[in-house]
Amino acid sequence: MHIIEAIILGLVQGLTEFLPISSSAHIRVVGEFLPSQADPGATFTAITQIGTEIAVLVYFWSKIVTIIGRWAGSLVGRVPRNDPDARMGWLVIVASVPIGILGFALQDYIRDVFRNLWLVAAVLIVFGLILGAADRYGARRAEMDDVTYPQGITIGVAQALALVPGVSRSGATTTAARLFGFKRTTAAEFSFLMAIPAVLGSGLFELVHGLGEAEPGPYGWSGVIVATVVAFLVGWVVVAYLMRYLEHGSFMPFVIYRILLGIAIMVMLGFGVLTPFAGA
C-alpha cells in the first residue's frame, strides 16, 4: 500500500513542481487523504524534488551545458565576462545564495511551523493574487540577456520564500521576474535554471540527513525512490508542456486554481476534515 501511495505522491510532485501552484503544498495536503493519513514530511518532499529537477536538466541540457562551459571559460579568460551565457552562470549562482542561507538556518521551521495548513492556505491565496497582478500588469518585453545582477538577487530572495509550502518556487520567482518586465517564457526559463542548485542542494542535504535515520518519512526508502522516479517522468512531460503553453497562454488559470485551493483548505480546516499539523 505504501508503494501505491508513493506513486501517487510522485505523480503529484511531477505534475505540480513546475506549475506556479506549489508542489510542497500539494504533497502536504494529498498525504492527509491517503490511507496512511500521514504528512510525507520535508525529507520525502525534498528528495523527490531531485527527480523533477533531473527533468529540468534533461529538458534544458544543451542550454545548461553552454552556460557552464561559457561560465567556466570566463574564469580563465577564454570567454568575456560580459558574455550572456557566462553572466547567466553567475546570475544562477548569486540567485541561489538567499535560499541556501535561509534553508540551512530555518531547518526547524521548515520541518514544523511552515507546514501548518492554515499558513499553507493563506500563502496560496496571497501569492496567487500577487502572481495574477504581476502577470496582468507587468511589461512583456525583457529577454533572458536583460537580467541584471540586482534583479537576479531579488528573484533569488523571492525563491527563498518558497521554503514555506504554498508559496511555490516557480510561482515566487516567476512573479518577481514578471514584475521586472520579463516575458512569460523568459521568466519561466530563468526560474527553472536558478532552481537547479537550490533544489539539488536541498534534495542532497535531505538525502544525507535521511541516511542517518531508519526511514526517511512514512514511506521508507523504497517509497522515496519510486516517488522520485515517477516525479522525474511526469515532470519532464509537464515542463515541456508548460514552456509551449506560455508562448501564448497566461498564468491566470493557475492564479484562480491557487485561490480556490487555498479557500478549500481553509474550509476543510474549519470543518475539521483537515488538521493544521499531521496527527494533531
Mean pLDDT (the chain, rounded): 90
Say yes or no to pLDDT of 224 above 80.
yes
The string of pLDDT tens digits covering residues 161-177 is 999 999 999 999 999 99
**102 or 139, which is more confident?**
102
Q: Tell me, what amino acid is at 43? A: T
Q: 181, exposed or middle or buried, with CB in 10 Å at 0-12, 13-18, 19+?
A: middle
Contact 161, 167 (CB under 8 A): yes
CA neighbor of 25 nearest in space, from 98, 175, 125: 125
Name the pTM for this structure.
0.89
DSSP state of 182: B
Cα angle: 50, vertex 206, 63; to 5 degrees = 30
Residue of 5, 80, 78 lying closest to 44 (CA atoms): 5
278 pLDDT above the threshold of 90: no
Query: How much is the pLDDT for 176?
Result: 94
Q: What is the pLDDT of residues 13-70, one digit of tens each?
A: 999 999 999 998 999 899 888 887 677 877 888 889 999 999 999 999 999 999 999 9
* Backbone torsions φ then ψ of 182, nearest 5 degrees: -85, 145
pLDDT value at residue 10: 96
The average pLDDT across 119-127 equals 96
Q: What does the pLDDT read at residue 77?
A: 87
Pair 62, 33: CB distance under 8 Å = no
Is 200's pLDDT higher than 70?
Answer: yes
What are the cell numbers at 147? Answer: 537580467
pLDDT at 280 over 60: no
Cell numbers standing for residue 252: 491566470
More confident residue, 212 or 109: 109
pLDDT of the residue at 214: 58
pLDDT at position 206 = 79
The pLDDT tens digits for 75-95 are: 998 999 889 999 999 999 999
Which tens digit of pLDDT belongs to each residue from 229-253?
A: 999 999 999 999 999 999 999 999 9
Which pLDDT belongs to residue 39? 75
Q: Which residue is it, cell 481553509?
A: 266
Average of per-residue pLDDT across 113-139? 92
